[in-house]
Amino acid sequence: MIERLALLIASKIKQFESVTVSIDIMAYEIGRKLNNYIIILLTLLLSYINGTLIFSTVAMISFVCIRKYSGGLHMKSYLSCIISSVAIFIFVPMVRLSAFGTDFLLSISLIIYLFYAPNVFTGNIHPEGWMRKAKIISIALVIIAFYIQLSAVSLVFFLQAILILPWKGGARKLWGKC
């Protein structure tokens, strides 16, 4: 669905503009942007209706921040990415954890980030020293979360920690587009 829309938009751009970039590359980038915008819009709309706008927004921003530096598993399609992301951002704020529960999830997350962050994909090019900085930033974000003590933040950090675990024979690879 998103893929076809992105391809249609890219084709129209190519038709009316003298762009040197291939349609496939444009469609990929347009699809990524559409994916992100749809996730943001659906999360804001549904969380507003649900009455969890602030905590859903906090969950979304926290997830984006930790994911930028820790990497992780991707969904196989834009639609599955949209559904899973919006579900996380909508339902996570409904879960209330005790201080112990929050600290427990953050402790597990911290251990996972210590060993596995960043889980970057083959083919991504980063400047020298980026991996070390990304690990330090990921760990620092979790440590900051210990002080914030928000259930939504601890849950999304834990869910993201699960996404950086090596699932297929320890291989780190690109699974999809999200």
Residues 28-80 have pLDDT tens digits of: 999 999 999 999 999 999 999 999 999 999 999 999 999 999 998 888 899 99
pLDDT of residue 90 exceeding 60, the answer is yes
Instruction: Please tell me the pTM assigned to this model.
Output: 0.86
pLDDT at 18: 76
Amino acid, single-letter form, for residue 33: K
In a domain, 81, yes or no: yes
Contacts 24+ apart (CB under 8 A), 145-149: 145/62, 145/106, 146/103, 146/106, 149/99, 149/102
Residue with tokens 């939504």: 152
Structural domain for 148, as ranges: 53-163
In a domain, 149, yes or no: yes
DSSP secondary structure letter of residue 147? H
**C-alpha to C-alpha distances, 66 to 3, 50, 110, 145, nearest whole angstrom:** 26, 25, 12, 11
In a domain, 25, yes or no: no
pLDDT of residue 164 exceeding 80, the answer is yes
Bridge partner list, 71: 119
- Number of domains forming the structure of the chain: 1
pLDDT at 122: 53
In a domain, 76, yes or no: yes
How many whole angstroms separate alpha carbon 67 and alpha carbon 164? 9
In a domain, 176, yes or no: no
pLDDT at 173: 43
pLDDT grade, residue 124 (50/70/90)?
low
In a domain, 132, yes or no: yes
In a domain, 69, yes or no: yes
Output the CA torsion 178→146→101→42 (10° steps): -30
pLDDT of residue 117 exceeding 70, the answer is yes
